[in-house]
Amino acid sequence: AEFLALFRDCECVITNSFHAAVFAIIFEKQFVIIPQRRERVHQNARFHSLLRMLGISNRMVKVNEDIVNLMEEKIEYCAVHARLQALRSLSMNFLRGSLEKIGNFDCN
């Protein structure tokens, strides 16, 4: 609870953690992501995927980019939540369809 409260109560988030980025989105915080480097660079793929799906790809800091300016670009959370809802609907439809295919399983 204390960990989540840190995200709930903060003004903004600067992170290189996927889960911290997710919590920033859940709590509608302004955030930027500092990409992973060296042996962890492969972890950036899930950042890119998440941000692309939500229409906020600009939240990943690029080399020599001014973090302050990026943080001042407000995230349109109404649009983010609309995309999240659409993705949830797709996921639920997929799960329902898959469960119904395996037998007498009624998802309603």
33-88 pLDDT per residue, tens: 998 778 777 777 899 999 999 999 999 988 787 888 889 999 999 999 999 999 99
For residue 36, what are the contacts with CB-CB under 8 A and spacing of at least 6? Answer: 16, 42, 43, 44
Q: Which pLDDT score, from 0 to 100, does residue 2 have?
A: 93
Global pTM value: 0.81
Strands 12-15 and 30-33: parallel
